[in-house]
Chain A
């Protein structure tokens, strides 16, 4: 038997504050990305897309790791809250992965001369996108709540393997894609100070936006579940 009892702090009390923080962080990040950060020596202003592209990719990783943790939570405890977090995070993850692919394409055209090329980072990211679309498809095609949540949780646990594969694909295989410049094994970030600061503010802004969207979507999912139970 499942239960919809959950702590409302995250979804109800924190959500308005997360909304305000998201807006403020987005304004600061936009100013820094478009005005404060210097243009790249070789790429010029095209490089500024990195301030959105990298945070969306980071958010996709984070979202799918949250799906993994929430899936384990569901399999362990059968608490509805975990399933709601899993579905909310998967939807946001798919959205951000799609944005990563589109933004990457927009950057690739003036830089590489093509919208798409068959290189490991792009292909593994597209594969990850397809896998989580499959996850959402599996959810939408199952009618019984508990079965749907359990099936989806199994996929949520297995599919997380994609996250390290996508991140490390550029170091494992010959790749056109830029190697990691911030989270790299070799030492400190290889990025100009102002560029790095802008990137980190962008990552922070997108993380707050993710938390806001997650809180809103979890609330919707729990409301839906309550109505079904009533």
Chain B
């Protein structure tokens, strides 16, 4: 008998294998983030985009949309092959599906964030005063986004207007995470270690609260 955590890992592993075989979700998310980084200096101006608050805000908004793209693609793949029905039919399948998808999205988003961060630092010539603190904020930010993104994509499953609904639902819900991630990143870039650690703690709290909340109520809504 597989435990709940074991089932979640199975779904996450299956997700990562599917992404390795056909990395369309990852490619779309990375390309989207890269395009946004390139456009930032054009739209905002090269001087302005180097301001820590602006650079951090644009980075996290890009990452959020990348997360929505990747999560939507992941559920689309399930629907195309009717695999979701088989997973749901299993005992604890809904919980494993939500947890596994969120866990896999953390991994995928970690890659996208790494690429986006390197591109931002290199192309926008950003200066980072506290690299370790910035890495911590990015890791915790990457963990804090998926519980809500997967929740919204799962709730709008099989709805024709999903592409429209997911950003409308996800963006307002993720405002606290976006504010914390942006302020934390900006603090790390300007050398404010206390600020960066404080915002990191908040991101960790958001990640835990929404993961528990998601695991408690979202599975009931997955069809």
Partner of A138, one of B169, B176, B218: B169
**Stretch from B13-21, B25-33, B49-57, B154-162 forming part of the interface with A:** B154-162
* Residues of B with C-beta under 8 A to A161: 173, 176
Within 8 A of A (CB), among B199-213: 210, 213
* Residues of A with C-beta under 8 A to B217: 75, 153-154, 157-158
Partner of A130, one of B155, B172, B220: B172
A142 within 8 A of B: yes
Other A-B contacts than A75-B220, A138-B169, A151-B156, 6 sampled, CB-CB below 8 A, are A130-B172, A141-B165, A151-B221, A158-B151, A159-B173, A165-B175
B223 within 8 A of A: yes
| A157-B218 Cα distance, complex, nearest whole Å | 10
Q: B interface vs A, CB < 8 Å?
A: 148, 151, 155-156, 159-161, 165, 168-169, 171-173, 175-176, 210, 213, 217-218, 220-221, 223
A142-B159 in contact given A127-B175, A131-B173, A147-B223 (Cβ < 8 Å): yes
A150 within 8 A of B: yes
**Smallest Cβ-Cβ distance to B171: which chain A residue:** A130
- 26 inter-chain pairs at a CB distance below 8 angstroms, sorted by A residue, are A127-B172, A130-B171, A131-B173, A134-B165, A135-B169, A137-B168, A138-B155, A138-B156, A141-B160, A141-B161, A142-B159, A147-B221, A150-B221, A153-B217, A153-B221, A154-B220, A154-B221, A155-B169, A157-B217, A158-B173, A158-B210, A158-B217, A159-B173, A161-B173, A165-B175, A165-B176
| A159-B213 Cα distance, complex, nearest whole Å | 12
| Range, interface on chain A | 20 to 34
**Shortest Cβ distance from residue A61 to the other chain B in the assembled complex, whole angstroms:** 16
| A134-B210 Cα distance, complex, nearest whole Å | 19
| A138-B160 Cα distance, complex, nearest whole Å | 11
**Shortest Cβ distance from residue A58 to the other chain B in the assembled complex, whole angstroms:** 21
* Residues of B with C-beta under 8 A to A127: 172, 175
| A134-B223 Cα distance, complex, nearest whole Å | 20
* Residues of A with C-beta under 8 A to B148: 158
A214 within 8 A of B: no
**Smallest Cβ-Cβ distance to B147: which chain A residue:** A158
* Residues of B with C-beta under 8 A to A158: 148, 151, 173, 210, 213, 217
* Residues of A with C-beta under 8 A to B151: 154, 158
* Residues of B with C-beta under 8 A to A154: 151, 155, 217-218, 220-221
* Residues of B with C-beta under 8 A to A165: 175-176
A138-B165 in contact given A154-B151, A154-B218 (Cβ < 8 Å): yes
Assess the A162–B172 pair: CB atoms within 8 A.
yes
**Shortest Cβ distance from residue B97 to the other chain A in the assembled complex, whole angstroms:** 14
A124 within 8 A of B: yes
